Amino acid sequence: MEKYVILTDSCMDLSKEQRKEYGIENPVPGTVLYPDGSDHDADYDWETISFEEFYKRLDKKENFKSGLPNQFRISQRVEEYFKNGQDVLSVTLSSGMSGTYNAFIQAKNELEAKYPNRHLYVVDSKRYSAGISILAVLASENRSKGMSIEDNFNFLEERKLCLHQVGVLDNLFFLHRSGRISKAKAFFGTMAGVKPMADFSNETGMPCVLGNARGYKASYKVAEEFLKEYLTKEEKTTIICAHSIREEQCDEFVKIAHKVAPKATVLKCRLGQSNGVNVGPGLAVLFFLADRPVSKDCEEERKFLASVLAKK
């Protein structure tokens, strides 16, 4: 079997145990600027601050900021593998949301010139969190089957376009603050009782609000219909629910995933600091693969969601 490693940045939110199970390397950490002005590596395993404390502070509007991994840190990690005779397959946060992908590309150009027999393949996930995680899990499964790194890269480049998100986010103002959506969308999406439901645009690599459900119960019903409509027909697929301090809602979405796809592998993950700073508390979403790409600017998905909401 070809010897290569799978590496991501800290916006991939699989736990230490999950990374070990799939043979995925520890992520290259981005940075988090704390309210007191101190700069820290993103604590993706919650070793210096608890998951609950972090989101409690965000909920109090404490001003945390995130930063991407710098090229030196990326190059340092990749060069370790190159020296060990290993090529690297990387999956990064959406280039529409961060400069992380470009930093990996710069490291690739620098290191492949220095090590002409080694290769760094970089996949722009066009997603975040569990979207990155699903692609990393797919890469791991393909590697276990003996797929070459180049074929694996090409496979991920095609499949990433079929990644869907469905779920809820209670507070859209964090997305507005980080430039992901407009102030108007943040305001109308954060009204009492409104649960915005979004997918991801392949064109922009950014979230695209599809519509609003009235309350959690309605959102669960919508998510079930969405999953039935778009989930791949492959029985052995992976579905991941990511949440930011919304354990109860995440568990409900996991139940829905098991109901719709009883043979699927369904994982839970906590939204890490690198994502949490820009998303905030209140997220519970399922990421899953379809058999066809997400439509242009999510036009088809928006119409489908509207038809489901109209029946409720």
Residues 151 and 169 in one domain: no
Rounded to a whole number of angstroms, the distance between the first and last alpha carbons of the chain is 51
> Does residue 167 come out as left (phi exceeding 0), alpha (psi in the -120 to 50 range) or beta?
left
Residues of the chain with pLDDT under 70: 1-2, 171-194, 312
Could you report the per-residue pLDDT of 156-187, keeping only the tens digit for each?
A: 999 999 999 999 988 655 444 555 445 544 44
What pLDDT does residue 143 have? Answer: 97
pTM: 0.93
Tell me the two tokens of residue 114.
């220095």
End-of-domain residue from the set 160, 183, 207: 160
* Domain encompassing residue 240: 161-311
What pLDDT does residue 169 have? Answer: 84
Sheet holding 39-41, edge to edge: 39-41, 31-33, 65-67
Tell me the two tokens of residue 83.
């020296």
End-of-domain residue from the set 160, 191, 212: 160
What pLDDT does residue 3 have? Answer: 86
- CB–CB of 164/285 below 8 Å? no
Residues 233 and 295 in one domain: yes
Residues 177 and 139 in one domain: no
Residues 191 and 223 in one domain: yes
What pLDDT does residue 243 have? Answer: 97
Residues 214 and 238 in one domain: yes
End-of-domain residue from the set 140, 160, 180: 160
Residues 94 and 193 in one domain: no
Residues 210 and 117 in one domain: no
What pLDDT does residue 108 have? Answer: 98
Residues 125 and 17 in one domain: yes
CA–CA separation, 120 and 219 (whole Å): 40
What pLDDT does residue 122 have? Answer: 98
Domain count, the chain: 2
What pLDDT does residue 172 have? Answer: 58
Residues 307 and 173 in one domain: yes
In the chain, % of residues over pLDDT 90: 81
Residues 192 and 136 in one domain: no
CATH of the domain at 50: 3.40.50.10170
Residues 126 and 213 in one domain: no
CATH of the domain at 294: 3.30.1180.10
What pLDDT does residue 107 have? Answer: 97
Residues 138 and 178 in one domain: no
Tell me the two tokens of residue 189.
């999406």
Could you report the per-residue pLDDT of 5-27, keeping only the tens digit for each?
A: 999 999 999 999 999 999 999 99
- CB–CB of 67/33 below 8 Å? yes
- Report CA-CA distances (Å) from 250 to 70, 188, 260: 32, 23, 15
What pLDDT does residue 59 have? Answer: 86
